[in-house]
Amino acid sequence: MKKKNTKFIKDESKKLGFSSCGISQARFLSEEADNFENWLTKGYQGSMSYLEKNIDKRLDPRLLVPGSKSVISLSYNYFPPKKLIDENNFIISKYAYGKDYHKVLKKKLKKLFARIREKMGEIEGRVFVDSAPIHERAWAKLSGLGWVGKNSLLINKNKGSYFFLAEIICDLELEYDEPVLNRCGSCTRCIDACPTDAITEAQVIDANKCISYLTIENKESIPEELRGSLNDSIFGCDICQDVCPWNKRSTPHNEKEFIPNKELKKLKRKDWIELTEETFNKIFEGSAVKRTKYKGLTRNIKALT
């Protein structure tokens, strides 16, 4: 029955457009505890104080979903068919081109969980898209979706790293997958390419220097000494992914919700500089860019002008 149920879940996930699906046994992540505590002790979380809370739940999904036995990890491709204008222009991360992935993936996860319940009965569980204290990459790694690269992102040998992660934690016993081999080898392209030296060592990121953090989560002004290294990025950063050799295998997504709207496609440097709050709200309605708000985005633009 476990084998049959596992196959059903993976087959249904493909039908809903997920790139891959792997499953691991819900347990305490003892192997991640020390590294996470050390990272916090060094203050590498910056102002993201929420990471200092619910550490026990972050390391043990059974505290999030009592009675849970399995963590179903899923990936969803967001590599764009075409880049936005980036020559002599400001840059936003590829993941923010279209609609907010939290909402897009949450709908799909709920559909998948509904199909699982329809097939297997009233099982207990919850769906997550970057929405709770879950060590997503650790579970995805344990579930065989890829390995954690030196830039701390999950990398798949066939798909690269341009994908979102999501989870279903439930009380269903299933067949569990095995982790895959880390294939980064001696490559240090991501470390070498980071303009702010945010990758302090393999798999360790100092958020205080990370362009993604500085332009999104950071609520203060961007430090003067880092402004010259922002690489024209005003929302997020893809540099460590763009230089990764494994991303030569990335293929364009076919999710219509991730296609940028016409107004966003047209924006050039001058338009960004003159962006009004009304235009911001219109162009980025339902977008992840709303996370930094108009105030944050214009702060980022001003730091580069």
237 SS3 class: coil
**CA-CA distance, 82 to 95, in Å (whole number)?**
12
Taking the CA atoms of the chain, what radius of gyration do you get in angstroms?
20
Longest dimension (CA), the chain: 61
CA 70 to chain centre: 21
Helical packing angle, 2-15 and 101-120, nearest 10°: 140
CB 18 within 8 A of CB 105: no
Give the residue from 128, 165, 174 showing the smallest Cα distance to 146. 165
> Residue 203 carries which side chain, given as an amino acid letter?
Q
From the candidates 11, 60, 100, 130, give the one annotated as an active-site residue.
130
Q: Is 86 a catalytic residue?
A: no
Catalytic residues: 130
